[in-house]
Structure 1
């Protein structure tokens, strides 16, 4: 087996079996199988039919283990759909250097244009989730920072990276207009009270049953701060009437949308996702 210190390549089912058997012998006989759709920050394996083991792939993702274990039970009662249930925390072992988590398995299909029944209804459900999350008491909550990869913090953190991307993409997209989008967002800093945000409301973290939103997973980038980052899905997933429905249902002000465009643009620029870049630029032109 490749050394676990090598990151994703070093985490496999055998390592998970050994960790579970050593630290949680009550589950030692459960079969360990990789999930069909996995993320980058963590490797996830099913333990039997009702549990999962979730192992960070690098040190930068470790903070999420304690954060989720502490706060998922606090958030869950206030949210309209299921979120992960923290069951236990594992310790490093067998050369794997990080703490890890056991969660309840959540059934459902990953959200896509094929699995969602009605995009407008889905847009309203996502908006309801965001508003419910924003309403949760923030007392003692984790303020946006390194643990959230600065989601929920000032866009200024990614200014240099964005400027560099604009320079590299000059001639391949309208970088002058993109710079306007970025500047407009920096000129509209968040001045409201810190609220809860998820940090990565993307289709891969949304589960669907019978065509409807049934669960939101992966709170690793969650925290307390500016929730503009949670509006990115307006540009990355919703289109046409569903985008209009989402914007209306989530009821955020113009400054919030300015920062949401910038969050979307930052990621699209560094990943060279020109479809999303064009979507953000078109939206900016329509509102200015």
Structure 2
């Protein structure tokens, strides 16, 4: 997926575990299929999972999770990852890594939610709980700055998509939607705690109820519109409205949130269209949904 991606295999994971966590050295190691873009996931026995960055940028995410997840868990209404072991660079592997408790559940699927209003309620409850956190020294959330900071990469992505006719993106329409988002009110909204990456692949459900939220590598404080992603990347129209109502989102924040979700999709589609089908398919879904919603 990335030109600087580090190769990771079962033998490396076994070696790291044996050297640093010998109490788990006899457990089976199995690569776990994931649509994630910056980490490799390995099941470790039945109850554990190993998460290792694939690129240098993921190393800071791991260190941040090791610091903040233990402080967030009791403040949130659903389960989040629990760090059981903090691994260090070794055996030619250059970055920190973690062992977590395995969390049961599956990722929700767009178009396959039987009770979207219940999931919308659960997601709103999680977002509201994140916003209510008041912990000093918080990092800045990835993508959490003012919307204008995304202007250059978003316009570059639209230009790329104009050169990929088979994607059939109405580039004039998405450009107009982006301009509208840049003009939305509330660009200087007070910062709040955010997950900042509420993609379907970072949610776990039991039936249609939210059971866990994972991958907090983008977390921190920033624009509250940043955590509105599920409205367009997952929920159908009635769930989208229920999510908005539960959070009490005004027009300015809604337009900013829609713009942020669109920007992420526009950037992801040309980058992942040939290397990560799940990410590319969700980006296409977001672009369609945002245009229909607007």
- 1:281 paired with 2:291, answer yes
Deviation at 1:38, TM superposition (A): 5.0
38 and 23 in structure 1: CA distance in 2 versus 1, 3 angstrom threshold: farther
SS across alignment from 2:17: helix
182 and 128 in structure 1: CA distance in 2 versus 1, 3 angstrom threshold: same
Among 37, 42, 48, the alignment partner of 1:40 is: 37
Partners of 1:79 and 1:230 in 2: CA distance: 15
- 1:88 paired with 2:85, answer yes
1:61 aligns with 58
SS across alignment from 2:40: strand
- 1:167 paired with 2:159, answer yes
Contact 1:185 1:262 in 2 (8 A): yes
2:177 aligns with 181
SS across alignment from 1:192: coil
Partners of 1:251 and 1:281 in 2: CA distance: 22
SS across alignment from 2:5: helix
- 1:140 paired with 2:137, answer yes
Partners of 1:249 and 1:179 in 2: CA distance: 29
Partners of 1:109 and 1:142 in 2: CA distance: 29
Contact 1:83 1:216 in 2 (8 A): yes
Deviation at 1:212, TM superposition (A): 1.6
Structure 2 unaligned segments of length 5 or more: list them. 271-282
Partners of 2:89 and 2:48 in 1: CA distance: 19
Farther off after superposition, 200-209 or 186-195: 186-195
Farther off after superposition, 268-277 or 194-203: 268-277
Deviation at 1:282, TM superposition (A): 2.8
Structure 1 unaligned segments of length 5 or more: list them. none
Partners of 2:160 and 2:111 in 1: CA distance: 35
Contact 2:39 2:51 in 1 (8 A): yes
Deviation at 1:189, TM superposition (A): 4.7
Deviation at 1:108, TM superposition (A): 1.0
SS across alignment from 2:152: helix
6 and 164 in structure 1: CA distance in 2 versus 1, 3 angstrom threshold: closer
Runs of 4+ in 1 over 6 A off after TM superposition: none
168 and 98 in structure 1: CA distance in 2 versus 1, 3 angstrom threshold: closer
2:73 aligns with 76
Equivalenced residues, count: 274
Among 25, 45, 49, the alignment partner of 2:46 is: 49
TM-score relative to the length of structure 2: 0.86
Partners of 1:214 and 1:31 in 2: CA distance: 26
C-alpha offsets along residues 154-188 of structure 1, whole Å, 9 cap, x if unaligned?
Answer: 22222112222333445854434433322232233
**Cα RMSD (Å):** 2.1
Partners of 1:219 and 1:283 in 2: CA distance: 28
Partners of 1:104 and 1:17 in 2: CA distance: 17
